[in-house]
Structure 1
Amino acid sequence: MDKLPKVLIVTPTYNEIESIHALITRLVAVKNELATKYDISLLVVDDNSPDGTARAVKERAINWISVLDRPGKGGLGPAYIAGFNWGLTQDFDYLCEIDADLSHQPEQLVHLLDALDGHDLAIGTRWMPGGSVVNWPFSRQLISRIGTGYARLALKLDLKDITSGYRAFHREVLEHIDLASINSQGYCFQIEVALRSSKDGFSIAQVPITFIERAGGVSKMSKRIVIEALWNVTKWGFGSYKYRR
């Protein structure tokens, strides 16, 4: 029997105690359902959450779930980089991103993983046929659509949801794009990873997903994160984007 692909789901957390148990419960069901196709593990990258998120995960004592403790709140990008580096050293074949607040539906993970049969990277996409958003204020939808449209235009990328944080990668993509040189802190990290992947010729699948606004906890979106993305996209789009490998 062929060896199943090893899949690592990485989810950064900071004060996600209200949703982390539900996320784990749903991922247990997904893992069981996909047991004949994929060998799934979960890594929670926790930024020393005061609400005890990391402790709650450890107390579940599930052998395929690990916690990577970080000393403090350090941003989405660095959290994912730490998680990806951990996964690459553990010889996972596929590495995935998912939000801990249940805005991404764990049951749709299979569509991202299946898309890797023929593509290097799969991006869960809200703004395409079959994709949708639920309970998201119109103002947030407008900001997301305008931001995505501007990034597509400036960076000349034909990606309909470039800031999406629901993704699946072949490990070779993450090994190639030089994670150590990425400085983006917030959701701009997603843009920069997509830009590097595209520039380096990797094939990107866009997979429709349903995005549901978080029911509990507090969004990490801030003006600083928006400004970082706007500044970097403008700089990269109208200058020359280069990085060393």
Structure 2
Amino acid sequence: MRAVVVVPTYNERENIQPFLAAVRAAVPAADVLVVDDNSPDGTGALAEQTAAELGQVKVLHRPGKQGLGSAYRNGFQVALDEGYDVVVSMDVDFSHDPTAIPTLLAAVDVAAGTDAGTAARAGGGADAVIGSRYVPGGATADWPLHRRLLSRWGNRYTGLVLGLGVRDATSGFRAYRASALRDIDPSSTTAEGYAFLTELVRRLVVKGHPVREVPIVFRDREFGTSKMSSRIIVESMLLVTRWGITDLVSRRRPRRR
């Protein structure tokens, strides 16, 4: 199983070197693709230097800041074009623990042709695995109360409106089977920010792909500045509402005979 870890970066100079070293140590067989948006602090150049030292790391340089969704669309397309079997997405700021990557990979690593019962007993067989803060065993460490409440409310609202059956639709720590990504065509998504992550889950569920959640502990970043903003939150909630209305209208529309 060929796996690649796709990591968007913008002004992450303090994190990029230790992060790449940690990922390479956690999953030595996996490759890493850094998608850098021409970071003014030199993250892209430092990623190139670190790639030369560590090996199995590539850097995709983009001309400027274009958003999280756009970065993942570009990175996923490169991963699919290069024939990887599994694509992992995660943050570079250590909010997502690199040592948890093998757990996500194990949940999709079932030999081709394995029947559903055997796959379930093996704990694998999912087409997408989400590192979840809100399943038993998951947690958010070091978060203030208002941030925990906002995140939980957002995910509960998303679950209520879209009916995804997923507790953490906004977690960016995931592993996707490449065949599932091809089927949902990330290049045709339109959302930016963290709404992009919800849009992918929605497409997976609509297409009938098994989505599984495994517990993770999400920690706040130690270095650098968070890219989260009130604009991103508002955009996400508006899009979720629009998708929910679209789904409701679609279900109620009479079928033509």
Query: Which TM-score band (shorter chain)?
Result: over 0.9
Partners of 1:124 and 1:176 in 2: how far apart? 21
Map of 1:135 onto structure 2: 142
Map of 2:44 onto structure 1: 54
SS for the counterpart of 1:215 is: coil
- Kindly indicate whether residue 226 of structure 2 is the aligned counterpart of residue 234 of structure 1: no
Per the TM alignment, residue 181 of structure 1 is displaced from its structure 2 partner at its CA by 1.7
Partners of 1:234 and 1:125 in 2: how far apart? 22
Map of 1:209 onto structure 2: 216
Query: Residue type of the partner of 2:85?
Result: D
Partners of 1:150 and 1:200 in 2: how far apart? 21
- Kindly indicate whether residue 18 of structure 2 is the aligned counterpart of residue 22 of structure 1: yes
Partners of 1:50 and 1:75 in 2: how far apart? 15
Per the TM alignment, residue 44 of structure 1 is displaced from its structure 2 partner at its CA by 0.3
Partners of 1:216 and 1:136 in 2: how far apart? 15
1:144-202 Cα deviation digits (max 9, x unpaired): 00000000000011111000000000001110112222111100000000000000000
Partners of 1:166 and 1:12 in 2: how far apart? 12
Partners of 1:123 and 1:216 in 2: how far apart? 24
Q: In terms of Rg, which structure is larger?
A: 2
Q: Which runs of 4+ in 1 moved over 4 A?
A: none
Partners of 1:45 and 1:90 in 2: how far apart? 15
Gaps of 5+ in 2: 109-123, 251-257
Partners of 1:240 and 1:30 in 2: how far apart? 40
Match of 2:226 among 214, 219, 227: 219
Partners of 2:218 and 2:22 in 1: how far apart? 16
- Kindly indicate whether residue 193 of structure 2 is the aligned counterpart of residue 193 of structure 1: no
8 Å contact kept, 2:104–2:214:
yes
Partners of 1:209 and 1:187 in 2: how far apart? 18
Scaled by the length of structure 1, the TM-score of the pair is 0.92
1:203-224 Cα deviation digits (max 9, x unpaired): 0110000100000100001121
Partners of 2:185 and 2:20 in 1: how far apart? 30
The alignment covers a number of residue pairs equal to 232
Partners of 2:94 and 2:105 in 1: how far apart? 18
Partners of 1:169 and 1:67 in 2: how far apart? 20
Per the TM alignment, residue 63 of structure 1 is displaced from its structure 2 partner at its CA by 2.5
Map of 1:160 onto structure 2: 167
Partners of 2:180 and 2:74 in 1: how far apart? 16
8 Å contact kept, 2:37–2:63:
yes
Per the TM alignment, residue 109 of structure 1 is displaced from its structure 2 partner at its CA by 0.6
SS for the counterpart of 1:239 is: helix
Gaps of 5+ in 1: 33-38
Map of 2:112 onto structure 1: none
Residue identity over aligned pairs, in percent, reads 41
Provide the aligned C-alpha RMSD in A. Answer: 1.2
Match of 2:9 among 9, 13, 21: 13
